[in-house]
A and B are shown apart, each in its own frame.
Chain A
Amino acid sequence: MKRLKILLQFTKKNLLRYFLAIIFSGIAVIFSIISPMVISFTVDSVIGDEPMDLPDWLMTRVSDFGGRDALRENIWILGLLFVLLTLLTGIFQYIKNRWFAISTENATKNIRDTLYDHLQHMEYHEHVKSQTGDLTQRCTADVETMRKFMANQVTQVGEILFTVVFTLIVMVGLNVELTLYSLAVVPFIFLVSVIFFTKVKKTFLEVEATDSELHATIQENLTGVRVVRAFGRQAYEIDRFKVKNENHREKVRKLNELLAWYWSMSDLLCMIQAMLVLFISVSWAASGRITLGTVILFITYIRNLIWPIRQLGRVISDMGQAFVAFDRIIEILDKPAEPKFTQGLTPEIKGNIVFENVSFQYPDGTNPLKDISFEVKQGQTVGILGPTGCGKSSLMHLLVRLFDYQKGSIKIDGYELKEIDKKWLRSHIGIVLQEPFLFSKTVLENIKLAKPDASMDEVERAAKIAAIHDTVISFEKGYETLVGERGVTLSGGQVQRVAIARTVLKNHPILIFDDSLSAVDMETDIMIRKALRERSKGVTTFIISHRINTLAQADFIVVLDKGRIVQMGTHDELVREEGLYSRIWAIQSSLEEGQEGEKNNE
């Protein structure tokens, strides 16, 4: 039921068109059933001497025209009629197909857009839990299965039902007894199809399994080529592959053999049914019980019954797949998402932040932050230092509400962080991630991501602050250079600098640099920081870094270890205090003493 509800949601505006298309497919079927009657009428009542068994309105037309003799003189009229009926069938088929396509493609677009939108808004921890490959698979392959279900399976079933029902009505009208004979084998055809395609599913799955095994073996070999070569295991790999390749071949052959039996046997059943009808109708026509025209009609109509019903068995057994795919799509949509529209407070954000006994645990139970308390005033710069895994990044994730803390409170300008609208909050905090992601767009588009209406001037200014401008204009296409898979691969440092540019393009009251200069060399690091200081006066800034040098100018520095604050104070205070900070400082500064230039720049 839930499935139906969601399906209706996707098809909403296209439902009417979809149903009209189904009705049109019925009309097309009716015309296609009428057209053989032209042939039987011609044979029986125009060429032959049987009475014309026509509806009154048509009979008067024929009489007006001159009756049987006139038709005999102008037999081309019947040919033309046959063509016209085929044309009508064709027109309705065309409209039906087009409308089916429009409504299912629109619904598919809805599904894709909804999924994409949902993924964008899905809670961040859900993303952390999921695998990209699996999500992508569901959004593509499963959506495709759904599309086929709507575009082919449902329409086929509809069309088959129309064909069978209308044909039977006409057949019963012609001759009840012969209709019964026409149905003698049909149920078996249907049953054999349903049973076969249900049973054969096991073999299908086996084939799929060997297929993915084969894929995995090739993939493993190719991605592990260094290991294979380093151990000189080519021959071994070839043997291993051979087994999988053979397995695959044998399984496909087994399936093929089953299919060979199915198609030949169901063909046999179909042809026996057709033969039965031919045998009885010919005998009856020979003894004058029925006319030649009726024989021709039954021979034609029997095909409307047997082949579609065989097909129906297959379609029905395939439908299960669509339900599985649909459920997998629904599973994604059921995952919790962040609100799309403003939900919560939208206060003016200046940049006064208070952490009070904040504790945070990841959904998987790891506990990165315990009892964090400190206060930052508007315009202050806070340095954060600590070994890998100490919770520095987690702290910043809390600030932009990628995760929410469980205990304590964070207040921004007096407002509890959890009550502030997520998008509002994020659009006021500029964060440069440790491993920034660039989209496969141009450099310009990547910088303008958060502010699409920025002028070229603004972009260049931001790029200059991030010390990336000169690099960008050295590219052949400058700011129009494509980044990523289909374009230039930027180095880690370049990616970080583009990310800085795109963040400083907007004026945020709060800025976070999450170890975002780690891949940039020291000289550039200093340049960037200097430019930033000029640009970001009055902006509350968090800097996470491993370099004491980078942190030294902060108004105060928070030293984290194993999720707790172990030290806090200005550089001068911390240097004098026995602890992690001073130890690291000692190592780093002793190394730098000899290096001219750097300290002088400060």
Chain B
Amino acid sequence: MNNTFQEEVFSKGVNIDLWKKFLRYAKPYRGKLIMLSIFMAMLAGFDAVIPLMQRYAIDNFIVAHTTSGTILFFAAYALVVIVQAIIVKVMISYAGYVETGICYDIRKDGFEHLQELSFSYYDTTPVGWMMSRLTSDIWRLGNTLSWGLVDFAWGLCMMVITSIVMLVLEWKLALLTFIVIPFLFLVSIYFQKRILLNHRDIRKTNSLITAAFNEGIQGVKTTKTLVREEGNLNDFMKLTKEMNRKSISAATFAAVYMPIVTLLGSIAASIVIWKGGNRLMIGTLSYGTLTAFISYAIQFFFPIRDMARIFTDLQSAQASAERIMSLLETKPDIVDNVEELEKNGLSDRKSWPKINGNIVFENVSFAYKTGEKVLENFNLSVKAGEKIALVGDTGAGKSTIVNLACRFYEPTGGRILIDGHDYTKMPLMWLHSNLGYVLQTPHLFSGTIRENILYGKLDATEEEIIRASKLVNLHDIVMKMEKGYDTPVGEGGSLLSTGEKQLVSFARAIIADPAIFVLDEATSSVDTETEHLIQGAIANILKNRTSFIIAHRLSTIRSADRILVIRDGRIIEEGTHQQLLARKGHYARLYTNQYTMQLEHGDISE
């Protein structure tokens, strides 16, 4: 299913509607954003004023050969410097505050939305994709909405104020120096855009290199046995060569940019030297004005560079925004129909009927969104307390049957009744709060063993935890650990052994005393002793519960009340272990091929 997943293609122009949707994330920070813009305008004003103050000092003290008034002048200058520093402080604080705030809010919405989305979404969307939406995309968006605005406000004000000051001082000279501005703009936009594209290109090649490293490491056994080291290295060197070429050409390209821009600035400055120098000699221009103009001519480049960068950043940010929006706007498939539940008096938890565990599949059909049909007119009736083992090849439809029973998927045709109720007419939580579910590869959350068991019943008492642990043969193992139930399990349970993880996940499932139990049994081998503990635990868990087991262990299969052999979404054989063996059909063959090796010596000699 995963290989059908494709990254969407995004629009190129400015997507106004999209940005309007994101405006609500900026709303809580409206005050701060307005203040920020004002501060940035002030900062730009001061930046534009400094050359003017230098001009004043040159004309009124140096050229006039007097130091009277310098103290007052420098007091004013010092004031400007201090105010500037204060603005910088407040500006960074505010912008950072807004950035983190916006990221927080969008991430919160994104995460909460992901909790609603159905399995059909998870089945077709790689976890990595969702992760990137909630991390790098959000970061990029928050960054642009805060710092981008800061730079934009500064750049714009700086350009406007500088131009005004220049025009007021000497409008003719100002217009002459403005000649280079259009070129500066064109060059900046062209280069910034190309630089961004180059970077993207490099990132792409870089991810290929990462993949190659991954593959090289994972496939090392194959490589060694096939003596493919040299061939692989040659393939890899093609990649690094391409990376090398691209990186050098990108760096070379970027290296042209700054010199061109400073050159344009120097052309503006030289115009000032030439025309301004001539005017100075006739006496229509002061020394101070000349130096101020030279400063301005060189300075003008900075805001233009920033503006060009913001425009290119905005493009990336828009792509991020579109991806985030596509996540936020995906509708979940399975939702409670609140109105109808209310009408039937089911909106309150207390009014939910108790689940006994009779499950009926009535002409159930199921197809994935891709059109792939898995089940058609599937019928099955399970009595409360019955243990059902599902066996069959990978892809036969075992998982789908279980997922449907758990309402992780809903049938695309037919219905599923639990204690006679069509479950789509019931609250989702009605079933889920009565479900015990243990995965083939047990998924633990980082935290302590206690926290993981509590996951099954948040308000469980210490006694309940211990009772559940004892039931699944976990208690003694935990007691042997130094920190007992407070032992951390590590990320994904990595600090525990496979068997221990399995037992913790059993305890977690059993503590809530569910009516329906689903077990996707592990194939991984554990040592004989643990295996024994697990078998005992399973036997205890399944007592008096309706259970579905995707079975791999012979002992589990044999203890089932009914074994269903599934092939191509149909039940092809059905019965107890002995009955099915006697039929010498598909089950018997599976048994021969896959289960004989699990026999212990004792079993075989039976």
Contacts and interface: CB of A to CB of B under 8 A. Distances in A.
B115 A140 contact: no
B456 A231 contact: yes
B119 interface: yes
8 contacts: A79-B277, A120-B233, A222-B130, A227-B439, A271-B85, A340-B229, A388-B597, A431-B225
Interface string A115-131: 11101111010010010
A320 interface: no
A587 B85 contact: no
Given A76-B274, A231-B455, A439-B215, 9 more contacts: A101-B251, A124-B220, A216-B446, A222-B114, A229-B408, A230-B432, A286-B66, A436-B222, A440-B215
A505 B425 CA distance: 59
Interface stretch (B92-100, B382-390, B412-420, B461-469): B92-100
B217 A119 contact: yes
A537 interface: no
Interface in A355-413: 387-389, 400, 402
Q: Which of B429, B437, B589 has the most CB of A within 10 A?
A: B589
Interface residues of B, number: 146
A499 to B, nearest CB: 8
A42 B266 contact: no
Nearest to B271: A79
Nearest to A387: B597
Contacts of A416: none
A256 to B, nearest CB: 3
B544 interface: no
B219 A437 contact: yes
Contact of A426 (B227, B241, B265, B433): B227
A583 interface: yes
Interface stretch (B104-112, B152-160, B475-483): B104-112
Contact of A282 (B57, B215, B445, B518): B57
Interface string B516-560: 001000000100000000000000000000000000000000000
Interface string A219-241: 11111111111111110111001
B433 A232 contact: yes
Contact of B443 (A223, A278, A282, A488): A223
B599 interface: yes
Interface of A: 35, 38-39, 42-43, 46-47, 72, 75-76, 78-80, 82-83, 85-87, 89-91, 93-94, 97-98, 100-102, 105-106, 108-109, 112-113, 115-117, 119-122, 124, 127, 130, 132, 135-136, 139-140, 151, 214-216, 218-234, 236-238, 241-242, 245-246, 248-249, 252-253, 256-257, 259-261, 263-265, 267-268, 271-272, 275, 278-279, 282-283, 285-288, 292, 295-296, 299, 338, 340, 387-389, 400, 402, 423, 426-427, 429, 431, 433, 436-437, 439-440, 449-450, 452, 485, 487-489, 491-492, 502-503, 522, 546-547, 580, 583-584, 587-588, 591-595
Contacts of B263: 83, 86-87, 90
Contact of B408 (A83, A226, A452): A226
B211 A286 contact: no
A488 B3 contact: yes
B400 interface: no
Interface stretch (B29-37, B252-260, B305-313, B339-347): B252-260
A75 B214 contact: no
B353 to A, nearest CB: 17
A287 B65 contact: yes
Contacts of A283: 61, 67, 70
B512 A271 contact: no
A521 B255 CA distance: 62
A427 B227 contact: yes
Contact of B222 (A256, A433, A547): A433
Contacts of B247: 101, 105, 108
B248 A102 contact: yes
B62 A83 contact: no
A279 B74 contact: yes
Contact of A106 (B57, B82, B244): B244
A292 B63 contact: yes
B592 A238 contact: no
Nearest to B591: A591
B231 A452 contact: yes
A85 B270 CA distance: 11
A595 B589 contact: yes
B596 interface: yes
Nearest to A102: B248
B184 to A, nearest CB: 14
A489 B437 CA distance: 28
Contacts of A47: 277, 280-281
B269 A82 contact: yes
Interface string B558-601: 00000000000000000000000100100011011110111101
Contact of B84 (A102, A112, A271, A587): A271
B134 interface: yes
B438 to A, nearest CB: 9
Contact of A299 (B54, B103, B241, B518): B54
B375 interface: no
Given A584-B604, A591-B581, A594-B584, A245 B111 contact: yes
Contacts of A87: 259, 263, 266
A231 B432 contact: yes
Given A227-B443, A427-B227, A285 B254 contact: no
A595 B85 CA distance: 89
Contacts of B225: 400, 402, 426, 429, 431, 433
B294 A140 contact: no
A426 B107 CA distance: 52
A238 B111 contact: yes
Nearest to B581: A591
Contacts of B223: 120
Contacts of B445: 220, 224
Nearest to A241: B111
B123 to A, nearest CB: 10
Nearest to A216: B491
A365 to B, nearest CB: 14
B270 A226 contact: no
Contacts of A450: 226-228
B135 interface: yes
B131 A222 contact: yes
B141 to A, nearest CB: 15
A522 B127 CA distance: 36
A94 B255 contact: yes
Q: Which 4 A-B pairs have the closest CB atoms?
A: A90-B259, A256-B96, A79-B270, A101-B251
Nearest to B241: A109
A39 B277 CA distance: 10
Interface string B43-72: 000000000001001100111111100100
B484 interface: no
A116 B212 contact: yes
B21 to A, nearest CB: 21
B11 interface: no
Contacts of A226: 119, 408, 437, 439, 443
A502 B222 CA distance: 11
B213 interface: yes
Given A97-B251, A259-B92, A449 B103 contact: no
Nearest to A235: B115
B341 to A, nearest CB: 15
Given A124-B220, A433-B222, A109 B108 contact: no
A440 B211 contact: yes
A98 B226 CA distance: 41
B370 interface: no
A82 B273 contact: yes
B232 to A, nearest CB: 6
Contacts of B432: 229-232
A127 to B, nearest CB: 5
Given A222-B127, A387-B597, A112 B273 contact: no
A63 B598 CA distance: 104
Contacts of A271: 81, 84-85
